[in-house]
Homo-oligomer: A and B are copies of this chain.
């Protein structure tokens, strides 16, 4: 994982229904996977209420800290959809009816024989200076303002908006990864891992214990680096160290 905040991303999940446990979030892991194809890591995720002050303060913290911020939820037509206006306020810009968005919505509702009523017209309100992100599922667009991408919360729609946004992502050098699993407790390998960290400064090591039962437990060691050669050397070194301690690995 590349941990430079100014080069990577944060996700802001907006919605009471996620916090209440009513709806399971499916967007976080989808965004993480999609971005990792472009060498971009997600370094922070916040899940917050549909609350104007929370949205404003989270956006203003995250957009300064990270290269990209992705928000999900709260851009529909009902009373609890307050993301767009809150983001306008976070950026200190006005929100108004966007002509392009209005036309897209009007033609979609006409075609589908629904009234393009007042509440639906609200979805055409977009912060000034934002670029629209097309919604190929149900027309109401998301938008991008500066480094903040504002997506719908419904997974199918979110996925479509993310696809339309990939053109804005600057691809970075991919991270190389390797996994080694040992069937001993974490306390048996902690010293070995410390040695590797000291020897290979450009390697990131994660130590993830699992404990499925008293008989099936161990540690997944994850090594990662943008430097492939260095990663290969570190793995060889780790294997030698494990063998010296008679610890089996796979």
Interface string of A14-27 (1 = CB under 8 A from B): 00110111111000
Q: Within A137-179, which residues are at the interface with B (CB < 8 Å)?
A: 137-138, 154, 156-157
Residue of A44, A119, A138, A190 with highest tally of chain B CB at under 10 A: A190
Interface string of A178-199 (1 = CB under 8 A from B): 0000000111111101100100
User: Can you report 7 A-B residue pairs in the complex whose CB atoms are below 8 A from each other?
Assistant: A1-B49, A3-B51, A45-B46, A45-B47, A77-B186, A77-B187, A114-B187
Would you call A95 an interface residue if the criterion is a C-beta within 8 Å of the partner chain's C-beta atoms?
no
Task: State the copy count for this chain.
Answer: 2
Closest to A189 in B: B78
Would you call A33 an interface residue if the criterion is a C-beta within 8 Å of the partner chain's C-beta atoms?
yes
Would you call A86 an interface residue if the criterion is a C-beta within 8 Å of the partner chain's C-beta atoms?
no
Pairwise interchain contact A186-B41, C-beta atoms closer than 8 A: no
Pairwise interchain contact A154-B24, C-beta atoms closer than 8 A: no
Pairwise interchain contact B19-A157, C-beta atoms closer than 8 A: no
Pairwise interchain contact B49-A46, C-beta atoms closer than 8 A: no
Q: Can you name 11 extra interface pairs (CB under 8 A) apart from A19-B41, A43-B49, A78-B190? A: A16-B206, A19-B42, A24-B29, A44-B46, A45-B46, A77-B186, A79-B197, A114-B188, A119-B191, A154-B210, A156-B211
Pairwise interchain contact A79-B21, C-beta atoms closer than 8 A: no
Would you call A32 an interface residue if the criterion is a C-beta within 8 Å of the partner chain's C-beta atoms?
yes
Interface size class of A (residues with CB under 8 A): 35 or more
Would you call A117 an interface residue if the criterion is a C-beta within 8 Å of the partner chain's C-beta atoms?
yes
Give chain B nearest CB distance to A53 CB in angstroms.
11
B-side contacts of A191, CB under 8 Å: 117-119
Closest to A22 in B: B222
Pairwise interchain contact A207-B3, C-beta atoms closer than 8 A: no
